[in-house]
């Protein structure tokens, strides 16, 4: 089965499993797990931040950041299709007591002018803007990359108003691989950012929340425990992350090339609507119009042929390339797409 549903479906390689089995561990709640400490130091240095906190998931990293920067009754500016909006179970309201101000972007990306317009005036009748969140790459936008110049302009707006910024960098490593920009060139514009090890890097779990303010780190540790994310001998997971950073970071470009290959093939099918130029990284979003089958039936037909993808609403679909997808599997996927969608 060729599984293109998400880059979260990857399985640890044999070498990664060996690294996990050999991991030197301790109690991370006491700060005594040497492998977790090494991972945190490694990633904070990579992004030019003073501290990093290992957490179970990207969702927890995002929600800790929202809680750190806000007070109940305040507002967070975020793009309308962001992961924080769509896929985190309303956690910002439930856990931090804040509301989300949705701004509609272009393939998930918003401009500094839109951010400026969304910031609430400081007067007694309106909720106050407490945080601006961006997502890079943008999942629902199709793996789109924020231009660094756009981030810089948004940061300038935020600084003028004294508003902190958080980056959901679940797939930031894909942006780094595609642009070859230094990790710190993105990180420097954000007060906090979360990066994920279990997407393109192929670790089984784990994200890191990064920051410069060490008082935020102490609060983040306490909130992590409150949210149920404080783990004990978590070095077995951290070891997978270290292995992924040392061995899988350099191969992400292969996933991007595979995604572009899929997009170019899909473009030739009369029922498919896609612009291959919109494929920045490893996510391919396309529409199907005029086909005899509906979305759920298309997914089922592809599965019957040995290919898994997701329908994402309306007539749109998503395919994601990743560590476990070879060039040969991409070619087979192209053949299956042609067989199912070509008529």
Residue-wise pLDDT for 308-327, tens only, equals 999 999 999 999 999 999 99
Listing DSSP states for 83-139 in one string gives HHHHSSTTHIIIII--EEEEE--BTTB--HHHHHHHSPPSSTTSPPEEEEEEESSBT
pLDDT value of position 127 = 98
CATH number of the structural domain spanning residue 281: 3.90.1150.10
Residue 109 within any structural domain of the chain: yes
pLDDT at 244 exceeding the cut of 80: yes
Which is nearest to 62 in space by CA: 195, 188, 171, 183?
Answer: 195
Q: Are residues 259 and 158 in the same domain?
A: no
Q: Are residues 173 and 309 in the same domain?
A: no
Q: Are residues 217 and 336 in the same domain?
A: no
Q: Rounded mean pLDDT of 25-39?
A: 98
Q: Are residues 53 and 168 in the same domain?
A: yes
Exposed, middle or buried, 203 (CB in 10 Å: 0-12/13-18/19+)? buried
pLDDT digits (tens, 9 = 90+) for 127-147: 999 999 999 999 999 999 999
Structural domain span for residue 173: 14-247
Residue 56 within any structural domain of the chain: yes
Q: Are residues 38 and 119 in the same domain?
A: yes
Residue in the block written with tokens 């290959």:
261
pLDDT value of position 343 = 63
Residue 314 within any structural domain of the chain: yes
pLDDT digits (tens, 9 = 90+) for 89-121: 999 999 999 999 999 999 999 999 999 999 999
Q: What is the mean pLDDT of the chain?
A: 98
Residue 131 within any structural domain of the chain: yes
pLDDT at 64 exceeding the cut of 70: yes
pLDDT at 9 exceeding the cut of 70: yes
Strand partners for 103:
79
In this prediction, residue 342 has a pLDDT band, given cuts at 50, 70 and 90, of confident
End position of a domain, from candidates 247, 270, 296 = 247
CATH number of the structural domain spanning residue 148: 3.40.640.10
Listing DSSP states for 67-99 in one string gives HHH--TT-EEEEETT-HHHHSSTTHIIIII--E
Q: What are the CA-CA distances from residue 9 to residues 118, 203, 321 (Å)?
A: 36, 10, 10
Residue 120 within any structural domain of the chain: yes
């Amino acid at each position: 089965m060729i599984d293109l549903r998400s880059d979260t479906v990857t399985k640890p390689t044999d070498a990664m499993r060996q690294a996990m089995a050999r991991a030197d561990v301790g109690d991370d709640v006491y700060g005594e797990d040497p492998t977790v400490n090494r991972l945190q130091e490694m990633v904070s240095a990579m992004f030019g931040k003073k501290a990093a906190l290992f957490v179970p998931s990207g969702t927890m990293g995002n929600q800790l950041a929202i809680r750190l920067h806000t007070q109940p009754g305040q507002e967070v500016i975020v793009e309308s299709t962001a992961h924080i909006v769509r896929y985190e179970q309303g956690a910002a309201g439930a856990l931090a007591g804040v509301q989300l101000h949705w701004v509609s972007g272009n393939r998930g990306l918003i401009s500094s002018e839109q951010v400026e317009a969304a910031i609430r005036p400081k007067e007694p009748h309106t909720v106050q803007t407490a945080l601006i969140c961006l997502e890079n790459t943008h999942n629902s936008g199709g793996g789109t990359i924020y231009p660094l110049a756009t981030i810089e302009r948004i940061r300038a707006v935020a600084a003028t108003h004294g508003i902190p910024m958080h980056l959901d960098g679940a797939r930031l490593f894909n942006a780094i691989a595609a642009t070859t920009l230094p990790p710190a060139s993105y990180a420097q514009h954000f007060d906090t950012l979360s990066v994920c090890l279990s997407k393109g890097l192929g670790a089984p779990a784990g994200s890191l929340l990064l920051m410069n303010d060490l008082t935020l780190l102490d609060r983040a540790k306490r909130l992590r425990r409150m949210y149920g994310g404080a783990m004990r001998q978590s070095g077995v997971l951290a070891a997978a992350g270290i292995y992924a950073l040392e061995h899988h970071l350099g191969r992400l470009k292969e996933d991007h090339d595979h995604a572009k290959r899929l997009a170019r093939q899909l473009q030739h099918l009369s029922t498919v609507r896609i612009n291959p130029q919109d494929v920045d990284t490893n996510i391919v979003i396309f529409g199907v119009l005029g086909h005899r089958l509906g979305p759920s039936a298309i997914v089922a037909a592809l599965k019957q042929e040995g290919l898994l993808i997701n329908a994402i609403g309306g007539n749109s679909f998503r395919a994601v390339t990743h560590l476990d997808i070879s060039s040969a599997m991409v070619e087979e996927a192209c053949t299956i797409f042609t067989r199912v969608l070509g008529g």
